[in-house]
Amino acid sequence: MSGEQLQVGDIVVRKSYQEDLLFRVIEIDLEKKAVLLRGIEFRLCADAPIDDVIKLDAEEAERRLKKNEKRELESLRLIFQDRDVIHEKNIWKMINHTKDVGGSFDWPGKVLHLDGDAKYLEKCITFYKELKIPVDGYHLSESEFPEKIVPLLTKHRPDILVITGHDALQVKRGPTNDINSYRNSKYFIQAVEKARTFELGKDNLVIFAGACQSYFEAIIAAGANFASSPKRINIHTLDPVYVVEKVAYTPIMQSVNVFEMIKNTITGIDGIGGLETRGSFRIGLPKL
């Protein structure tokens, strides 16, 4: 495809990757005959030769987007299904204590979400609201995370911290156990370390950190409860939200079922992993 036929905002696929992922064109460099692409489903930015991309017509783009939306809605359905089960158990335990005061109210964990991509942050905030999770969100470059993290934690005092954005394993730079082989993993690690100096307790501040192909083991070692990416694969835009939801709505006296949590993500165990962690959901009295 020639650069003249492409426009910023077009939805495309890449021939060299079997046309498997949808991208939106962000920039076009006619001199270098290259384009900058942002993944629509996955947290991925990529440079590509113009002749490697195929522009989807409106009908095909709509069909592919609807398929992706269906998958996201199925994840939401599973989340609400699991939440209903947990809620019924809690109400049954509390019924003798709440009937005289008119019932109880829900108090899920509060989230601070830092994202290296404004569009992905916007989509995540929409889903947090759909899931009734209180959230404060900030778009920052990944390199700003270590500097900004403590002031933002001090300001918002969240129960759950999400640090995500863009990353990549660049094999030409070195092996997978070398931090210099990763585009942004060092910033996730540094931010997690600073967050842990702010709050040491893994159950007092639950941390998810990482993006596509991030250095999973090092991020966990830095102090995160959950991270990406064990198999160095791309993670879905909404995977951090699905992880957070499980923490936010698991009762404070229970551990998060990590298997159930990962089941509700789109990427699965190859993209997301973590440690046994206590939930941050509380029941309040009386009903408001």
| pLDDT average, residue stretch 64-83 | 78
How much is the pLDDT for 249?
92
Residue-level pLDDT at 65: 82
Predicted model pTM: 0.86
Round the average pLDDT of the chain to a whole number and report it.
88
214-220 CB contacts, 8 Å cutoff, 24+ apart:
214/167, 214/182, 214/184, 214/185, 214/188, 215/169, 215/176, 215/179, 215/182, 215/185, 215/188, 215/189, 216/273, 217/177, 218/179, 218/185, 218/189, 219/185, 219/188, 219/189, 219/192, 220/273, 220/274, 220/275
pLDDT confidence band for 67 (50 / 70 / 90): confident
Mean per-residue pLDDT, 189-207: 97
For residue 89, the model assigns a pLDDT of 61
126-149 pLDDT tens trace: 999 999 999 999 999 999 999 999
pLDDT of 70 above 90: no
Residues 6+ apart with CB under 8 A from 89: none
pLDDT for the residue numbered 3: 46
Rounded mean pLDDT of 39-66? 87
pLDDT at site 261: 84
Q: How confident is residue 96, by pLDDT bands cut at 50, 70 and 90? A: low
Residue 97 pLDDT greater than 60, yes or no: no
Mean pLDDT calculated for residue range 46-53? 89
Radius of gyration of the chain (CA): 20
**Is a pLDDT exceeding 60 seen at residue 152?**
yes
Q: What whole-number percentage of the chain has pLDDT above 90?
A: 58
Instruction: Determine the average pLDDT of the residues in 171-176.
Output: 82
- The DSSP secondary-structure symbol of 108 reads P
What integer is the mean pLDDT of 28-34? Answer: 89
Where do the domains of the chain lie, and which CATH numbers do they carry?
3-56 (2.30.30.30), 67-284 (3.40.50.2300)
Mean pLDDT of 205-225: 97
